[in-house]
């Protein structure tokens, strides 16, 4: 059973555009879970252009499923995660001014750094995951830094899906097998949507969790949030 974690960043973007507290992120998190989401994901960035650090501090009080906090492990992010103790922390190598995350870690180049940070989170009882591309040496490096899980960056898959979906999935399918053999749990996220999610799931038998935000929230404009969450869950089950 693959869990759906809803990334609520875009709701925060809408709130911040007008100031105030509309939409209310606390209520959004409550409703997403009530509508069937098995987790809530947030990705605070240093400029707080969507999720604010205070949001991360406030949300654990209403999370009844799983709380996943993503981000680049700069000192302020590490302190925030250790203070809030989410279910999972996902380490993402995005620059402070990045529009969105667009690649995974070089686990060989950043071996010492990743291993140190991961051990710090593990000591606090927080499950760790690292954002990664479907490249065999990077997967092997992920096992060596002792992360619990990897999260496949699926933007490349989504970009090529309509051109040749078999070719688009091939590297993910192959490296998924490698990761499982190395004892790593498998998550995925970025540009997954109602068009490409089911095929991805069908080819990733060990997929534990997907984190989806932008596409899901865009679909919710047309279908409604509750119905949209159910549509995504259905794609993961069929």
Q: Which sequence positions are flagged as catalytic?
A: 43, 70, 190
Strand-strand pairing, 127-132 and 88-91: parallel
User: Are 192 and 212 contacting, i.e. CB atoms less than 8 angstroms apart?
Assistant: yes
Calculate the CA dihedral of residues 55, 84, 9, 152 and round it to 10 degrees: 170
User: Are 55 and 44 contacting, i.e. CB atoms less than 8 angstroms apart?
Assistant: yes
User: Are 37 and 6 contacting, i.e. CB atoms less than 8 angstroms apart?
Assistant: yes
The beta strand positions in the chain, using DSSP E, are 3-7, 39-42, 67-71, 88-91, 127-132, 149-153, 185-189, 207-212
In this structure, what token pair is assigned to residue 126? 């927080």
Q: What are phi and psi of 69, to 5 degrees?
A: -110, 120
In this structure, what token pair is assigned to residue 64? 């009844």
Calculate the CA dihedral of residues 228, 132, 59, 7 and round it to 10 degrees: -20
Q: How far apart are CA 217 and CA 206, in angstroms?
A: 26
């Amino acid at each position: 059973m693959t869990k759906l974690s809803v990334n609520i960043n875009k709701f925060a973007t809408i709130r911040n555009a007008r100031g105030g507290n509309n939409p209310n992120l606390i209520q959004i998190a409550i409703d997403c879970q009530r509508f069937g989401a098995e987790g809530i994901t947030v990705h605070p960035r240093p400029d707080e252009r969507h999720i604010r650090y205070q949001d991360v501090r406030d949300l654990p009080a209403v999370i009844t499923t799983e709380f996943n906090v993503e981000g680049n492990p700069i000192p302020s992010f590490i302190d925030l995660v250790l203070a809030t103790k989410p279910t999972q922390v996902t380490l993402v190598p995005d620059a402070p001014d990045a529009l969105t995350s667009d690649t995974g870690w070089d686990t060989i180049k950043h071996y010492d750094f990743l291993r140190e940070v991961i051990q710090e989170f593990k000591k606090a009882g927080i499950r760790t995951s690292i954002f990664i591309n479907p490249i065999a040496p990077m997967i092997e490096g992920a096992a060596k830094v002792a992360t619990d899980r990897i999260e496949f960056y699926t933007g490349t898959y989504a970009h090529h899906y309509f051109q040749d979906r078999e070719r688009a999935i091939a590297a993910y399918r192959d490296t998924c097998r490698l990761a499982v053999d190395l004892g790593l749990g498998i998550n995925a996220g970025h540009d997954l949507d109602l068009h490409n999610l089911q095929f991805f799931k069908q080819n990733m038998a060990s997929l534990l969790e997907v984190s989806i935000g932008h596409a899901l929230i865009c679909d919710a404009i047309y279908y409604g949030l509750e119905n949209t969450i159910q549509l995504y869950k259905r794609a993961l089950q069929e």
